[in-house]
Amino acid sequence: MTNDSIKDKTLGEVMRSQGVSRRSFLKFCAATASMMAMSPAMIPKIAHALESARRPSVIWLSFQECTGCTESLTRAHTATLESLIFDYISLDYHHTLQAASGHAAEEARKAAMDENWGKYILVVDGSIPTLDMGYSTIAGISNLDMFIQTAAGAAVIISVGTCAAYGGIPHAYPNPTGAYSVYDIIKQYGKDQLDGISSATLAKVGKGSVANTPIISVPGCPPIPVVITGVLTHYLTFGTIPELDHLGRPKVFYGQSIHDRCYRRPFYDKGLFAETFDDEGAKKGWCLYKLGCKGPTTYNACATTKWNNGTSWPIEAGHPCLGCSEPDFWDGGGFYKALSMPTENITQTAIYTAAGAVAAGVALGAMNKSKKNDAVSAHSETTINDLEK
């Protein structure tokens, strides 16, 4: 996929040589600014930065995943404009999208790594198993080995999807494969806590180099397509990683909760809730909190970016938010349990506890009964000490 003729040109030069006018480019930048939730005042800056950006190499590794993230990305709704970026990046390895397979594919990855060592963007989707290296392999290489080898030469790692960002569904209880997120793997590698890495990989890769690679997490199951491209665009535009939150997510997309940006929020504030999926409240578009909406604890851009060409999004379609861009969303006690509800069966706990406590109380009372009877027969006086009881 490498194209030598445009490799050393800037994006501005490439576009002008393809007959793209500056006006079209401004349009592209306006769309980009809007997509990245940036102030429209940033448009001239984006234009200037992108015009002088150089073509980066991208290696995309897929581990324990369902390909949903790639499916999402290839449906990015500003396709025409993103194609500008995607034509421009050099996607050197992506085993679902690339034409090459087998040894040729692995050779392409190695060639891209050698050629761009320290400069390429590594995109990862899927979590990495650590219990048994045989659980997930590509071309006979374990996920862990391939990840560590490739991460060593990356300028930045982008964890696409909840599995790569937090471990996701493979990481859900009881986590049979010992799946970890990209961030956890890097951290454990830095602390020398990982078993199963081949000696060849260890010999090749220094520990420190991997531990310091910046990681951008783009969680979601799947992530919003324009959020994936937005992060790539940001990196291309500014050559820096965007401002990240405490979970490594870009604040432009994950800075506000679904609840805060939800158009149904006024109903929550008024206390108007849909009780079931087909009651009057549901038909009137009232708040879905009682149906288990995780919007209040979920940070993502769905409420403003929406899905499918900006058509709609889960809550607009009448379904509560599942919280798919948060860690462990799969283990939250059920998608249809409201956030204020306990996740365990508290009724049962309460009944058992009450029964046990009553039995204990009765036993204690019985033991005391004879003492009281003795007091009556002995005609003993009630003293101040009795009142202390």
Stretch that binds other proteins, among 57-65, 88-96, 126-134, 278-286 (CB under 8 A): 278-286
Contacts of 119 (CB under 8 A, 6+ apart): 56, 57, 155
Subset of 228-247 contacting other proteins (CB under 8 A): 245-247
Question: How many residues sit in the footprint of other proteins (CB under 8 A)?
Answer: 101
| Residue 161 interacts with other proteins (CB under 8 A): yes or no | no
* Rounded least distance, CB 100 to other proteins, Å: 29
| Residue 30 interacts with other proteins (CB under 8 A): yes or no | yes
- Sole residue written with tokens 């050779």: 107
Subset of 45-104 contacting other proteins (CB under 8 A): 77-81
| Residue 353 interacts with other proteins (CB under 8 A): yes or no | yes
Q: How many CB atoms lie within 10 A of CB 105?
A: 17
Subset of 307-326 contacting other proteins (CB under 8 A): 308-312, 316-318, 323, 326
> Based on CB atoms, which residue is closest to other proteins, 87 or 115?
87
Q: How many CB atoms lie within 10 A of CB 201?
A: 17
What does residue 54 show for φ and ψ, rounded to 5 degrees?
-110, 155
| Residue 354 interacts with other proteins (CB under 8 A): yes or no | yes
Q: And the tokens for 149?
A: 């080898």
DSSP one-letter code for 163: H
Q: Using the rule CB under 8 A, which residue among 108, 170, 268, 300 binds other proteins?
A: 268
Q: Which of 127, 114, 69 is nearest to 96 (CA)?
A: 69
| Residue 331 interacts with other proteins (CB under 8 A): yes or no | yes
> Based on CB atoms, which residue is closest to other proteins, 29 or 112?
29
| Residue 255 interacts with other proteins (CB under 8 A): yes or no | no
* Rounded least distance, CB 9 to other proteins, Å: 15
Q: Using the rule CB under 8 A, which residue among 266, 276, 278, 279 binds other proteins?
A: 266
Q: Using the rule CB under 8 A, which residue among 153, 185, 290, 300 binds other proteins?
A: 290
> Based on CB atoms, which residue is closest to other proteins, 223 or 296?
296
| Residue 384 interacts with other proteins (CB under 8 A): yes or no | no
| Residue 302 interacts with other proteins (CB under 8 A): yes or no | no
> Residue 216 belongs to what H/E stretch?
strand 215-218
Q: At what angle do helices 43-51 and 22-35 cross, to 10 degrees?
A: 120
Q: How far apart are CA 58 and CA 299, in angstroms?
A: 27
Q: How far apart are CA 58 and CA 117, in angstroms?
A: 11
Q: How far apart are CA 161 and CA 347, in angstroms?
A: 36
Stretch that binds other proteins, among 1-9, 149-157, 217-225, 338-346 (CB under 8 A): 338-346
| Residue 198 interacts with other proteins (CB under 8 A): yes or no | no
| Residue 41 interacts with other proteins (CB under 8 A): yes or no | yes
Subset of 6-25 contacting other proteins (CB under 8 A): 16, 20-24
Work out whether the CA dihedral 194, 200, 203, 207 comes out positive or negative: negative
Query: Mapping DSSP to helix (H, G, I), strand (E, B) and coil, where does residue 16 land?
Result: helix
Q: How far apart are CA 204 and CA 164, in angstroms?
A: 24
Q: Using the rule CB under 8 A, which residue among 118, 176, 206, 365 binds other proteins?
A: 365
Beta-bridge mates of residue 94: 60
User: Measured between alpha carbons, how far is residue 188 from residues 180, 182, 197, 207 in Å?
Assistant: 10, 10, 12, 10
* Rounded least distance, CB 29 to other proteins, Å: 10
> Based on CB atoms, which residue is closest to other proteins, 199 or 347?
347
